[in-house]
């Protein structure tokens, strides 16, 4: 093992990695693949002057630092669009340690932090290690007794995670054992800690299932992850489960997963920034025959916009404060989904053949 790699700054996407002392740093034994663990030197600071460590704490970066992260893609309409790199000159796509090449960025963002890949992390036999190698075992199929709510958004920054935390808080205040999971996105400690701080007794996300970021993975894998997160939360004792799907309903993976929610979700909470987002989002979900229980998110900061959203959709508009204050419990209305087989009954509307492994 090259001296210093054990003392490198290990980013959040490596939080499940164990036995660091047994790893080696090799050259470039294969073409980059999603999830590959790599070490890179910071060559120039940019938009990310820090990384999140394995606990989610913000750690300052300096030129010359060695960072351990994972290759991946990023889809963020208000930040970076990035993909697997082709060379050793790369970018830090997220503070969580996702590494790739930026191809577009929001105009208000600084240029990306620049890295130089030193090599791939391998085992003692020279096999490249991936986040995949540290995923949890697939949990047994299960459904929560009080139901599953899925939080979707009209776009990034519509208030999805704030809505999730409010739902969890409302359930915990009512004495329920709440499970919280994130199905898609890029690995970051921020959302996980928001769920925990709100009172979630069980938390899982896509990183637990071997994905440092979900953009670019096939729908079959994402669907299996969605079921795995729910099943795992139930296995950890959750009576009620809330799941967040990242980005907005027009994003490719989000749109595809939305077609899988009929028969899986007992209810949808749609987080939006404005009334137009509520109108368009509710129309999309209504066409998929999924039950929308409430609208929430940033729109609720404006009483006038909230009234617009309620008037155009006919759906209750609930603020995070209302959800945390008790309305989240009222959303747990039994539906046929809670009575279906463990993998959500039929796959009607979902563009995936067969059941998750």
The structure tokens listed for 352 are: 């995936």
Angle at 161 between CA 35 and CA 231, to 5 degrees: 60
Q: Which DSSP helix (H) or strand (E) runs through 57?
A: none
Cα dihedral 244→246→251→252 (10° resolution): -70
Nearest Cα neighbor of 230 from 259, 208, 258 is: 208
Q: Is the overall model pTM greater than 0.85, yes or no?
A: yes
For each of the chain's 357 residues, which pLDDT tens digit applies? 444 577 899 999 999 999 888 899 988 888 999 999 999 999 999 999 999 999 999 999 999 999 999 999 999 999 999 999 999 999 999 999 999 999 999 999 999 999 999 999 999 899 999 999 999 999 999 999 999 999 999 999 999 999 999 999 999 999 999 999 999 999 999 999 999 999 999 999 999 999 999 999 999 999 999 999 999 999 999 999 999 999 999 999 999 999 999 999 999 999 999 999 999 999 999 999 999 999 999 999 999 999 999 999 999 999 999 999 999 999 996 544 444 433 344 444 565 433 333
Nearest Cα neighbor of 122 from 36, 42, 6, 210 is: 36
* CA separation for the pair 264, 349 (Å, rounded): 12
The structure tokens listed for 117 are: 């890949």
Nearest Cα neighbor of 97 from 125, 127, 123, 58 is: 58
């Amino acid at each position: 093992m090259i001296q210093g790699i054990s003392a490198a700054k290990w980013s959040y996407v490596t939080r499940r990695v164990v036995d660091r002392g047994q790893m080696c740093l090799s050259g470039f034994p294969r073409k980059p693949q999603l999830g590959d663990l790599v070490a890179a030197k910071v060559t120039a600071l940019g938009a990310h002057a820090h990384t999140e460590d394995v606990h989610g704490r913000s750690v300052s970066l300096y030129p010359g630092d060695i960072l351990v992260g994972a290759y991946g893609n990023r889809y963020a309409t208000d930040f970076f669009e990035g993909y697997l790199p082709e060379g050793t000159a790369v970018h830090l796509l997220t503070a969580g340690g996702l590494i790739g090449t930026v191809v577009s960025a929001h105009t208000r963002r600084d240029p990306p932090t620049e890295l130089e890949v030193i090599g791939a992390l391998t085992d003692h036999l020279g096999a490249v290690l991936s986040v995949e190698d540290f995923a949890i075992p697939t949990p047994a199929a299960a459904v929560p007794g009080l139901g599953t709510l899925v939080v979707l958004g009209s776009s990034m920054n519509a208030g999805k995670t704030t809505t999730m935390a409010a739902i969890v808080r409302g359930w915990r205040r009512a004495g329920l054992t709440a499970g919280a999971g994130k199905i898609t996105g890029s690995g970051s400690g921020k959302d996980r800690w928001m769920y925990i701080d709100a009172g979630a007794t069980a938390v899982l996300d896509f990183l637990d299932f071997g994905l440092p970021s979900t953009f670019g993975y096939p729908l079959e894998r994402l669907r299996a992850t969605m079921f795995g997160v729910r099943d795992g939360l139930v296995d950890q004792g959750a009576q009620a489960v809330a799941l967040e799907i990242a980005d907005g309903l027009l994003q490719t993976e989000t749109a595809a997963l939305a077609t899988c929610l009929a028969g899986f979700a007992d209810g949808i909470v749609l987080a939006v920034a404005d009334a137009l987002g509520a109108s368009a989002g509710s129309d999309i979900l209504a066409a998929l025959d999924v039950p929308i229980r409430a609208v929430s998110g940033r729109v609720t900061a404006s009483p006038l916009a909230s009234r617009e959203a309620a008037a155009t959709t006919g759906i209750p508009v609930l603020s995070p404060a209302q959800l945390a204050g008790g309305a989240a419990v009222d959303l747990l209305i039994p539906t046929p989904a809670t009575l279906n087989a463990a993998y959500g009954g039929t796959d009607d509307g979902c563009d995936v053949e067969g059941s998750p492994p």
